[in-house]
Amino acid sequence: MKQDLIHLLHKYDVALPRYTSYPTVPYWSFDSLTIQRWEAEVRHRFEAENQEVCLYIHLPFCEELCTYCACNKRITKNHAVEVPYLESVLKEWAMYKKVLDKMPVIKEIHLGGGTPTFFSPQNLHSLIQGILEGSQIAENHEFSIEVHPNYTTEQHLKVLAEVGFNRISLGVQDFDSQVQYIINRPQTFEQTKAVVQWARELGYESINIDLVYGLPKQTLQSIEFTIEKIKDLAPDRIAFYSYAHVPWKSKGQRRYTDEDVPAANEKIAMYSLGNQLLTAQGFVAIGMDHFAMPSDKLLKAYQEKKLHRNFMGYTTTNHKLVIGLGSSSISDTWTAFAQNEKTVEAYQSQIQQGQPPIVHGHLLSKQDLIIRQHILDLMCIDSTTFDPANFDVDFLASIKNKLTFLEADELLTLDGNTVNISPKGRLLVRHICAAFDAYLYRSKQSDQLFSKAI
């Protein structure tokens, strides 16, 4: 790797938000949002979206701890937890249906975790039947599930296909045995291939595979080995994420030390190699961490500048009402965010008392909405145009100074007030987004809130 590029990477290897939302969660002000106001925002957006709803359902249980994972999860082998938890989710959905007061049209369902296939096929089937009861399925719906191949059976995929599921995302991360050992995720290629084959045979329209670069003990050789294996699976999409090292937040990451984690220059070399190998297989890079085959809807949305991004990642569905069900789930009405109780016990207790389990949230200001759109445009279409009148003098000066600084390193070009991200800048898009972040500008603190940008 060229010395000037190595210098550039060290220069930008700082802690920054991932911008799955704006404002980012640490800067939310729950004081701005009452339950009554939240319900009013939900109703308003429901009407504006012609009664279409996207649902994210968080299923937090896992039998084993994957040490790299910073998601909200509960480790247990006790499957007696399944039914009480799903009953709570359905009760929460019933609360929302009372707020909506009209028949919902379900555009998306996404089952995330945790390990959603920790739950039995029959229990997952019952959950979805309960969700769909009294609802209508949108014509071009997308129902998807995240799966861990070690805990997924053909029956899981079969019963979900029967209730409309047509997308599946498989967690792989890395096939190298040394990497799998340190992240406590042993997973054979054969197990993974079997799940892919079942999905194809059952008519799933889109198969995504999650890979992670920058994992402890990972090398260029393990990246090459893994992506070569991926070729045999022929997925439609690849999510190629940067590992977020946040041991102060995720205790499982304390199994290894900082010395086990690749340095910034090593991580960028891993991404560059992965990009090269995936491109050679026919994938096209999208946004900052996704790849899609030419036949996939995600690439078409990107090319038509219709790509959207939310808490679930990049999506072709540009709907502005996402209702999150389950512990720690986040809901989004575009004008407001709300997050549920994080622990299973607290979540279920609130539901049993007939109370909305929301404990955190934020009502977006006019400037929040403007900046949110700029950040989405940068992440989804590689460009944005800003109106100087929307920012006070000092903040505008800060934005322009940061953009000029980034332009000097050829990460973007400035044409008046239009920002266009360069190919080099796509890997550092979080830095470009951060130039517009009013909360980061005011706080000037991020080291113990966010992971490193590289």
Q: What pLDDT is attached to residue 452?
A: 58
454 has pLDDT over 70: no
Alpha-carbon dihedral 308, 311, 314, 320, rounded to 10 degrees:
-20
Looking at the structure of the chain, the number of domains it has is: 2
- 103 and 122 in a single domain? The answer is yes
Q: How confident is the model at residue 1 (pLDDT cuts 50, 70, 90)?
A: very low
Compute the mean pLDDT over every residue in the chain, rounded to the nearest whole number: 92
Q: What type of residue sits at position 359?
A: V
Least confident interval from 25-29, 257-261, 412-416, 439-443: 257-261
Rounded CA gap, 217 and 287, in Å?
A: 27
Count of all residues that appear for the chain in the document: 454
Rounded CA gap, 175 and 86, in Å?
A: 33
E strand segments, 181-259? 206-213, 237-242
Backbone angles phi, psi at 358, to 5 degrees: -75, 130
Domain end call among 330, 362, 394: 362
41 has pLDDT over 50: yes
> What stretch of H or E contains 431?
helix 429-434
Q: What pLDDT is attached to residue 287?
A: 82
Residue list for the binding site for [4Fe-4S] cluster? 62, 66, 69
Q: What pLDDT is attached to residue 32?
A: 83
- 196 and 221 in a single domain? The answer is yes
- 276 and 379 in a single domain? The answer is no
Measured over the CA atoms of residue 444, residue 450, residue 452 and residue 454, the dihedral's sign is: negative
189-to-361, 385, 446 alpha-carbon distances in Å: 41, 45, 38
Cβ atoms of 153 and 120 within 8 Å: the answer is no
Cβ atoms of 359 and 338 within 8 Å: the answer is no
Residue list for the binding site? 56, 62, 66, 68-70, 113-115, 146, 173, 185, 210, 244, 330
- 97 and 227 in a single domain? The answer is yes
Rounded CA gap, 356 and 353, in Å?
A: 9
- 32 and 13 in a single domain? The answer is no
- 172 and 54 in a single domain? The answer is yes
pLDDT tens, residue by residue, 110-165: 999 999 999 999 999 999 999 999 999 999 899 999 999 999 999 999 999 999 99
Beta bridge partners of 52: 105
- What CATH code is carried by the domain that includes residue 11? 1.10.10.920
- What CATH code is carried by the domain that includes residue 138? 3.80.30.20
- 286 and 396 in a single domain? The answer is no
Domain end call among 362, 382, 408: 362
Rounded CA gap, 446 and 17, in Å?
A: 8
Q: What percent of the chain has pLDDT over 70?
A: 94
- 32 and 19 in a single domain? The answer is no
Domain end call among 362, 390, 424: 362
CA 84 to chain centre: 27
pLDDT tens, residue by residue, 253-301: 767 777 888 988 888 889 889 999 999 999 999 988 899 999 999 999 9
Domain that holds residue 154: 28-362
- 242 and 373 in a single domain? The answer is no
166 has pLDDT over 50: yes
Beta strand 313-315 with 308-310: parallel, antiparallel or unpaired? antiparallel
6 has pLDDT over 80: no
Cβ atoms of 447 and 18 within 8 Å: the answer is no
Rounded CA gap, 396 and 78, in Å?
A: 54
Q: In what order do the strands lie in the sheet with 52-59?
A: 284-286, 290-292, 237-242, 206-213, 167-173, 136-147, 105-113, 52-59, 322-325, 330-332, 336-340, 358-363
Q: What pLDDT is attached to residue 256?
A: 76
Q: What percent of the chain has pLDDT over 90?
A: 78
Reference 326, options 8, 60, 44; nearest CA is: 60
Residue list for the binding site for S-adenosyl-L-methionine? 56, 68-70, 113-115, 146, 173, 185, 210, 244, 330
